[in-house]
Each structure stands twice: as C-alpha cells, then as structure tokens.
Structure 1
Amino acid sequence: MELISGGICAAKGFTANGVHCGIRKNRAKRDLTLIYSEVAASAAAVYTTNLVKGAPLYVTKKHIADGKAQALICNSGNANTCNADGIEVAEQMSVLTAQALHIKPEDVIVASTGVIGQPLDITPIAGGIPGLVEGLGDHSDLAAEGIMTTDTKRKELAVSFLAGGKTCKIGGIAKGSGMIHPNMATMLVFLTTDCAISPAMLQKALSTDIQSTFNMVSVDGDTSTNDMVTVMANGLAGNQEITSEGPDFNAFMEALNTLTVYLCRCIAADGEGATKLLECKVSGAKSESVAKVVAKGVICSSLTKAAMFGADANWGRVLCAIGYSGADVDVAKVEVSFSSPKGEVLVCKDGAGVDFSEETAKEILLESEIDILIDLHDGESTATAWGCDLTYDYVKINGDYRT
C-alpha cells in the first residue's frame, strides 16, 4: 500500500470538476462539484445523526437503496436544509445532472452545504451543470474546492493497494471546518475506488471504519444537519469482486482507514479559527468503548481546547474532562503527558500532578500539532480522537456567518 496523487480521480474511470455557478457572490469561489464514474458503481453512505437532515440526504438514501450510483453532484454556499421545496430541488439537481451525463436520475448522489434555512435557487445550478460536465477530467483539486465553505485548505488524498493480485486505488476529498462533532457524519466526504466490491461489503467497510475515524473528530461540538460520507466503487481495477470477509476485504479496509484517518486529521487541523491540531491518544483502557469515551471527552472539552490555544499545560482540564466523560475509569491510575515535535512532558501520574518545567511544556505546546497522551493503566484497549484548539477567530467566524 502506498500514498499516491490524484485524489478522487486516482481510481480508474473517475473524473471530476468544480466550477462557480453563481450560488456564491464571490466569483473566485467554486460552488458546484461533480464526480462521475464511466460505469455504474457500487455505492454506500453514512449520514448525520441529527434529527434535522438536509433534503439531499433523503434523496441520496432513496437513490442508493439499490446499492448503485454513477455520479455525485454537490453545491456549496447554501445548504438545501429546512426548505419547504428541499426534496424537489434535490430531485431537480439529480435530473439535470443525469440528463447532462445521459444516466438515470436514480444513479445520482446529491449533497449540499452552506447556510441552513435559506431557499436554494435551482437556476444557477441548472446554468452551471453543462459547463461542469463539459469540463470533467482529472480535476480532483477543483472538485475539492467546490465543496469548501469556511475551509481554508483543500482536503484530498489517494492510496493504492493490492486486492486479488490487482492494483486498486481509493481516493477522497473532504470538507469540514465548523459544525464538526463525532455523530456521523458531520462533514462531507466523498470517496471513490476502482476496487470491485459488493454494495453490502462496501457498506460494511464504511460503517465499520467511521466508528474509529470520522466519529472521533470534533471541532466545536455541533453536529451538522446536511452532511454525509459516500463511497462509489466501480470495479475497473479488475480484481475478483469482494463479497465476503477475507484477505482482500482486509486490504480494502486498511487502505480505506489510511485514507480516512488522513482526512480526519485534515478536517480537525482546519477547524474554524484553529491554529493547532490536537490528537488525543488513549491507552490502557479496560475496553475500546471506554477508550473512545475518554478520547472524545477530552477532545471536546472547551477548556482543554482553550488551554492548548494558550500553550498552557493545564493538565487539570484534561483530568476534569475524563471525570465527566462518563467513562468507567479509576482516576487514581490516570497518567497524562503532552507531546509535540519539540518533545514530551509528563504532567500527571496516578491522578495527581508531578513536577515538570513550565518552560519546556510551553515550548512543546506552541507547536501546530499536539498529542494529548492518556494512559488509564486499566487494560489493553486504545482509541484516538482528533480536534483543534479554541481561538478568538472561531467566535468571529460564527458571529456573522449568515450575514
């Protein structure tokens, strides 16, 4: 397995594009993205757990009920959520896309992101689709730009791996900066692969993977309404179709996880106003579920996030978050360290503070990537969660996001 270039266009038979169609006022920002497979593909998706869901999620769920899709259309700048005509607009996007690609509307995945509750005019989308289709090519970068909202960086990667003696590729793009919290999906992530895998096994792979990846990311504790993770697998790599667990399925899972962990880190590092990526690694837990609860509890702590912004080794905030997380832990055994490229410092042992150099700790915490290392000394299970620091700019960005 190796990291490769190409993003969502790395896999055989996939092309993509992103254009400005007029949803956004700023013509320099792309606001419409298309991903297309030259043949029908197996499809799977996971959706936000928010009870308030965007219309595209309902349409997509209906469209891929047969486990098939061939294209994905997504607009940014205005989320098709909480609108009286939302389903109609989402279906129109499907029909217009299908007509331009000469495929069935039911084979189109629909997505939307941006401000919630604002009516979405189909006119600019209808006007932009012909050019979007005409420009299809090896443009994963443009597609990644077309789904960005408050993101400051494109998020894309691809991985190659072997399955059934054939070289397969899987790639992805993602958007996510605010309204990110571990309750699937809380962001938009679009994955493509040329690996031959049945819809059932593709869904199993995705549903399993998110439990330790996208469900372990939090920026601000808000679970979005219109976001999801989708994957299309068109089988053009020529491997024997994966229809059950085994070595090939394991290889697919490993490649998928490599890709999704990378995208998780990208999303957390690009959190709204963030200056630091936080990775909380929990070890020594009595079960994986305990480790996950602890990791998410710490990464979601506003006080811990603020301390990391200020490069303040306030380990008491970490212990506090563990204490109210609901996890079954023996606090008297807990050990906490902070780590970065500048070194590592032990700040808590057996649930109590230890002597450490504040100057050394500050130097470690001034780095852009920080690990919060927690050993519960109560078992063998581990978990990792990703987040970011809490800065003044987060409030500035969200104070006038709509207006």
Structure 2
Amino acid sequence: MKYINGGITSPQGFKAAGVACGIRKKGKKDLALVYSEVPAQAAAVYTLNKFQAAPLQITKEHLQDGIAQAIVVNSGIANACMGEQGLKAAKEMAQITAEALQIKAEDVVVASTGVIGIPLPMDLISNGIKEASGALSFNGGTDAAEAIRTTDTTTKEVACQLEIAGKTVTIGAMAKGSGMIHPNMATMLGFITTDASIESKCLQKVLQRATDATFNMISVDGDTSTNDMVVILANGLADNPTITTESEYLKDFEAAIVEVCTILARMIAQDGEGATKLIEVEVAGAKSLEDARKGAKAICASNLVKAAIFGEDANWGRIVTALGYSGAEVDPHNVDVYIGDLLVAQKGTGLAFDEDRAKQILKEKEVKLKVDLNLGEARAKAWGCDLTYDYVKINADYRS
C-alpha cells in the first residue's frame, strides 16, 4: 500500500463538489455532494445514540439493498430531533439529489451535521444541491471535505493505492469531527470511496471491523452525537477479482481500509475542539482484545487524564484510576505505566522518575501513554486530545 495525494475523488469514477448554500455564516461552504458514475456497493455504520437524526434513518432505509450512487451532506444544521418534519426534509434532500443526477432516490445517502433541533431551510438546500450537481468534478474532493466541516479547524482527507491481482485499487476518504467525540462514534462523519470490486456483505464486515479499531477508539469530550455515520462506496471500476469473505485479497484490502480509518481517526482526535496535543493510549498485555480496548478508551476519555496532559503534569495515578474503572480485567499488582518511553510505575507501584524528562515528553504535540497489564497478548490503541480552556469557550457559545 502507498499513500497518494488526494481524497474522496481519488478512486476511478468518483466526482465531488462543495458549495456555500447559505446555512453557515460568512459564505462558508456547507453542502457537499459525492457521486459515482456507476452504482456502487455500499455499507455504513451509525452512532449508538438513541436519538438518531433523520438523515441516518433515511440512509438506513436506502442502504438495505447494499447499493448507493451518491452522498449528499449539509453542515451547520443537524436535522436531529425534528420529528416528521426532519424525516420529510431528509427524504427531500435525497429526492432533489436524485433528480439532479438522474438516479434513484433510494441510491442517495443523506447526512447532516450541526446544531440539533433546528429545521433545515429546504429552499437553500435545494438550490445548493442543484449548484453542487453542476459543479461535480474529479478534482472536487477538497471542496467537499471543506463543506462538511463545522468546528473543524482543517479539512481531513486521505488516499492510498494497493495492488490486487495486478490491478491498482484506490481508496479515498474524507471526514469531519472536532467536538462531541466519544467511542461508539463521535460527532463525526466519515465517507470512504474505492474503485475496488467487493461484495456488499463483505464490505459491511470490513467497515464494521475497521470502525471498531479506529473511529470507535477516539474521544475528545465524552459525548456521543446523534448524527455520526461512516459510509463506504465501492464501484468496482478497478476491475479486480471481486473480493469476498473467502478471498485471498481480503486481508490486504481490509488492512488498507483500517489504515485509512486510523489516519482519519487521528486527525479527528488531533483537531479536537481547543486541543493542543494528540494523545495516543496503548494498552498491551491484556487477556482479550475487548479488555485492551476497554482500558485504552477509558484512559483516553478521562477528563482528569486529559487535563493533566494539558497541564504537562505526569500524574500517572489518573491513568491507573481510569484503567481501574474501565471494566477490563486487571491485576493492580501487575501493571506497568509509561509516559512516552519513561517508566513511571511498575507492578502497580510508583517509581522515582525524572520529572524534568516527563515534563519534556508532555510538552510534545503528540503524547503517547502505554499501560502493560502483563496478563496476555492482546493490545489496542485509542486516540484523544488534551482538555483545554478553549474547549469550554468554543462550546459555551456553539449556537451563536
């Protein structure tokens, strides 16, 4: 696998556009459209929040047959908690998109992100979709990535290629997410495209496993949103032998998808609202992958750990405290804790360590924490960011 410059339109047959339709202030792009020239196999995973927004409900209906050809996304308004009005608006977004692209409404994925409890201005949305459909381009990926942002400080794009049976397969992706980020997805949207040929059911399994290892392992602030969704479209234009659950090519393809999702997950964590540092937590030596993930997520999500990282305080007691309530199987007398490469606790007991060295590690833009449970072979990583004064400022006036 190799990385290439690009994003959502890097695979063959995908076009995109991003326009300003007037939802967000100051002429910011706020409507994105992604289109495959041919119908694509499709899969998706969704937030576990019980208040699922209308776009998710409509998208679930549309993807029951595992086929999609377009994705329409607006930012600024979430279209969540709007009852029948919200469902009607989401359906209209799909219908308007379908008419503009001359495809079936059932083949349109709908997504929204922004403020909850506000009706969508469908006149602006309609005009935006029509404008975006006319602006679709093989070079429009970055505009689309820009249009799905809310409090993000930067666009999040990635693309890579790998060889499958002598054919070049390309994967492209974009995501948004900065706040309301917590495992079991976050206030994030992720869209992945590929020209690989792969069965829909196999694609669903690949996406679910990749999400579990990446997007479900990030935390900014402990809140899980109403609108989170990750969608993948595979249009088959690479003309590789179709990948199935029994395929010899599945392992390499899945590894590439996991790597793409990992990069996006790290981008989201690093761009956490008000964040100054990316935190990577690794739990090793666990009896099971589930235990490793529980431990890593609990440490990464701890506000006390995040605040200590912001304050550059090597307070390892907060790390083991979070581990202790994580639900993972732990022997407190067997746990080693590292800040960077500095061992600060061994067998559950604090060591005399170089505080100045610890301070230097915690000054870095990326801080790595490692906990070894010394119980087994399983390991997992989670990603998050420090908790800063600016996080409160951003969220204190989010609607203004």
Would you call these one fold, judging by a TM-score over 0.5?
A: yes
Q: What are the equivalent positions in structure 2 for 1:17-32 lying under 5 Å apart?
A: 17-27=17-27, 29-32=28-31
- The worse-fitting range, judged by mean Cα deviation, of 319-328 and 230-239 is 319-328
Contact 2:16 2:33 in 1 (8 A): yes
Q: What are the equivalent positions in structure 2 for 1:1-400 lying under 5 Å apart?
A: 1-27=1-27, 29-84=28-83, 85-137=85-137, 138-184=139-185, 186-339=187-340, 344-400=341-397
Contact 1:144 1:155 in 2 (8 A): yes
Q: How far, CA to CA, are the matches of 1:386 and 1:178 in structure 2?
A: 14
- The worse-fitting range, judged by mean Cα deviation, of 303-312 and 352-361 is 352-361
Give the secondary-structure state (helix, strand or coil) at the position aligned to 2:260: helix
C-alpha deviation, 1:243, in angstroms: 2.5
Contact 2:276 2:365 in 1 (8 A): yes
Contact 1:177 1:267 in 2 (8 A): yes
Q: How far, CA to CA, are the matches of 1:356 and 1:25 in structure 2?
A: 51
Give the secondary-structure state (helix, strand or coil) at the position aligned to 2:356: helix
Contact 1:185 1:229 in 2 (8 A): no
C-alpha deviation, 1:166, in angstroms: 0.9
C-alpha deviation, 1:131, in angstroms: 1.7
Give the secondary-structure state (helix, strand or coil) at the position aligned to 1:167: strand
Give the secondary-structure state (helix, strand or coil) at the position aligned to 1:184: coil
Q: How far, CA to CA, are the matches of 2:3 and 2:298 in structure 1?
A: 31
1:149-178 superposed Cα distances (whole Å, 9 cap, x missing partner):
000011110110122321101110000111
Give the secondary-structure state (helix, strand or coil) at the position aligned to 1:247: coil
C-alpha deviation, 1:187, in angstroms: 1.2
C-alpha deviation, 1:345, in angstroms: 1.4
What is the alpha-carbon root mean square deviation over aligned residues? 0.9
C-alpha deviation, 1:185, in angstroms: 5.4
Contact 2:334 2:347 in 1 (8 A): yes
- The worse-fitting range, judged by mean Cα deviation, of 182-191 and 300-309 is 182-191
Give the secondary-structure state (helix, strand or coil) at the position aligned to 2:398: coil
Unaligned runs of 5+ in 2: none
C-alpha deviation, 1:215, in angstroms: 0.8
Contact 2:180 2:186 in 1 (8 A): no
Q: How far, CA to CA, are the matches of 1:205 and 1:126 in structure 2?
A: 34
Q: How far, CA to CA, are the matches of 1:262 and 1:244 in structure 2?
A: 25
Q: How far, CA to CA, are the matches of 2:103 and 2:42 in structure 1?
A: 15
Q: How far, CA to CA, are the matches of 2:53 and 2:18 in structure 1?
A: 21
Give the secondary-structure state (helix, strand or coil) at the position aligned to 1:89: helix
C-alpha deviation, 1:244, in angstroms: 2.5
Give the secondary-structure state (helix, strand or coil) at the position aligned to 1:8: coil
Q: CA separation of 1:242/1:66 partners in 2, compared to 1, >3 Å: closer, same or farther?
A: same
